[in-house]
Every structure is written in C-alpha cells, then in structure tokens.
C-alpha cells in the first residue's frame, strides 16, 4: 500500500520556549507543537558543524536506532527534520531535568532512592541490549527524571545544561578496564558503568576519582576503590559484583535486578 504520509515537520510548527541547555553540537529548547499543544524538547544542531566532524552519518544511524526505541526508561526520540541550516531532533521532555543536577543538589542519594533509580536504569539497559544497542555512555548527566521515571537520554555529544562536572575527566571515570586498555569491548561495559553509577549515587563521588588521567586509568585497571563506611553490606556486595575487572565475571543485569540490595529497597508502591 502507499507509504505512510509522514508529514515533514518544520520549525514553524512549533512555539519555542525556554533554553534548556547547550553544548558543542546543539542547543536544546522547550517547545510546543502549535496544533496539539504537545510539549517537546527541540534540539537544534548546525549542519555545518556536523558535516565538519563527519557526524551526519553517525547522527542518521543514531536517529534510525533511537526513533524505534520505545521503553519507559528510554527518552523518546519522536522524530527529526532539517532545513538548509540545521538539523532538529524532536525529543520527549523530562520535566524534572537531569539526574546529575539532582545528585549535586542533595550531594548523595539515600539507599532506597539510589536503588529505585538504579533498578529503572537496569530495566532501560535490558531493553537496549535486547535491541542490540550498547554503550550508551552512561553517566548521571545522561539520565533525565520525568516525574520519578528515569529516562536514559543518549546525549550523543553531551549538550548539557550548565550542570558541568567539575573533575577534569568527567566522562572517563565511567570507563571499564577493557576500554582503558583499548581492548575490544561488548555490552558488559554497561554492567561496569552501572556499578560506577551506583557508587556515585551513594557516595556523591565516583569510585576511581583521580587528579590525573594516568592515575585514573591505573586505578580503573587495578579496580582500586574503597567504600565509605556508611555503605550497607548489600550495597557493597551489589557494586563489587559489577566492578569486576573481567567482563565475564560481572553480574548480569537480570541478576542485578534480583540482588538483595535492589529487592530490599524497592518500595512496594511500585
């Protein structure tokens, strides 16, 4: 039968609202579709910048993958359009903003809030892995909060709001040993990253925090980290089972969902 009459969106279909954040590849605005008043986030990206960095192929591939992803813990990419100057992504809006800012505001999360967020992140990753998608560059900056639902937003190129991480290696702190050693990696890099994320939610800092890149890499490769005294034994066990140097020894996401630390902390009001 005929192809779906997917109409081409244009910028004139939207009323642009407040500026939510900006970075190297794009500016992000709140927006409202004029006919339906549906609220979205529009990400404006300059075509010139993307072509300069030969990213348009990567972006096209990314858009093809992301536009088919539908899960409560994955931020929706509703669609995209372009004009002669820019490419626009039409994204789901998360009213509570990013988890990085939330974490910095309250310094660290209590164990039940951390377990609730980690359980949602794991469910998002189980879905991503089932769709053959890995390494989503997990870090609190890439997690958004929509009324308590955590959404994994692949920022692609970290266009964050002004919540910039202070340490010099903001994104390197989540790298697993196999990537630090430049070996090939698979989806189990995400298991490691969930271990790092859990530690950061509970401690307020990452486990391998270092003043220099070489020291950071040394500590990661040696899985050299300590727990603050206030970490419960279950939390320590949960993190230890993910921060294993050898990917095959890491606990799977299904096992993680059934770990006592998660089960003990999931508030039964769902």
Could you list the residues that contact ligand AK5 (CB under 6 A)?
A: 20-21, 25, 28, 41, 43, 55, 58-59, 62, 66, 75, 77, 89, 91, 93-94, 97-98, 144, 153-157, 159, 161
Buried-state track 231-252, b at ≥16 Cβ within 10 A, e below 16: beebbeebbebbbbeebeebbe
Q: Which is nearer to ligand AK5, 23 or 247 (CB)?
A: 23
CB neighbours (10 Å) of residue 3? 5
Cβ neighbour number for residue 228 with a 10 Å cutoff: 12
Long-range contacts of 174-181 (CB under 8 A, 24+ apart): 174/137, 174/138, 174/139, 174/206, 175/220, 176/220, 176/247, 177/220, 177/221, 177/223, 177/245, 178/247, 180/217, 180/220, 180/221, 181/221
Q: How many CB atoms lie within 10 A of CB 178?
A: 19
Q: Could you tell me the smallest distance in angstroms from the CB atom of residue 187 to ligand AK5?
A: 19
Q: Which residues, listed in sequence order, are joined to residue 39 by a DSSP beta bridge?
A: 32
Nearer to ligand AK5, 85 or 222 (CB): 85
The residue whose Cβ lies closest to ligand AK5 is 156
Minimum distance, C-beta of residue 128 to ligand AK5, in the bound complex (Å) = 12
CB nearer to ligand AK5: pick between 59 and 138 = 59
Nearer to ligand AK5, 58 or 131 (CB): 58
For residue 40, the minimal CB distance to ligand AK5 (Å) is 9
Contacts of 232 (CB under 8 A, 6+ apart): 111, 261
Query: Residue 134 and residue 157: Cα distance in Å, rounded?
Result: 16
* 59 or 251: CB nearest ligand AK5: 59
CB of 145 to ligand AK5, least distance (A): 8
DSSP-based three-state secondary structure for 149: strand
Q: Identify whether the C-beta of residue 184 lies closer than 8 Å to the C-beta of residue 224.
A: no
137 is catalytic: yes
CA atoms within a 13 Å half-sphere pointing along the CA-CB vector of 65: 18
In whole angstroms, the minimum distance from the beta carbon of 155 to ligand AK5 comes to 5
| Given the residues 12, 64, 83, 137, the one annotated as active site | 137
State the catalytic residues. Answer: 137
């Amino acid at each position: 039968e005929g192809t779906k009459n997917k109409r081409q969106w244009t910028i004139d279909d939207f009323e642009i609202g407040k500026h939510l954040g900006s970075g190297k590849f794009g500016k992000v605005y709140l927006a409202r579709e004029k006919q339906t008043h549906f609220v979205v986030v529009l990400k404006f990206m300059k075509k010139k910048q993307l072509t300069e960095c030969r990213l348009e192929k990567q972006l096209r591939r990314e858009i093809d993958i992301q536009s088919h992803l539908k899960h409560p813990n994955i931020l929706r990419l509703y669609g995209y359009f372009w004009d002669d100057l820019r490419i626009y992504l039409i994204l789901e809006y998360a009213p509570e903003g990013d988890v990085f800012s939330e974490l910095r505001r309250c310094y660290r999360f209590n164990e039940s809030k951390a377990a609730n967020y980690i359980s949602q992140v794991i469910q998002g990753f189980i879905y991503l892995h089932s769709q053959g998608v890995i390494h989503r560059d997990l870090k609190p900056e890439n997690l958004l909060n929509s009324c308590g639902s955590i959404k994994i937003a692949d920022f692609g190129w970290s266009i964050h709001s002004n919540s910039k991480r202070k340490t010099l290696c903001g994104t390197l702190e989540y790298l697993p040993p196999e990537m630090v050693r430049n070996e090939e990696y698979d989806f189990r890099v995400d298991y490691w990253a969930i271990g790092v994320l859990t530690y950061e939610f509970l401690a307020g800092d990452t486990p391998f925090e270092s003043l220099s890149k070489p020291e950071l890499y040394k500590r990661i490769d040696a899985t050299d980290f300590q727990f603050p005294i206030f970490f419960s034994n279950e939390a320590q066990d949960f993190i230890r089972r993910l921060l294993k140097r050898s990917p095959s020894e890491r606990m799977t996401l299904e096992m993680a969902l059934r770990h006592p630390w998660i089960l003990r902390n999931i508030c039964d009001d769902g």
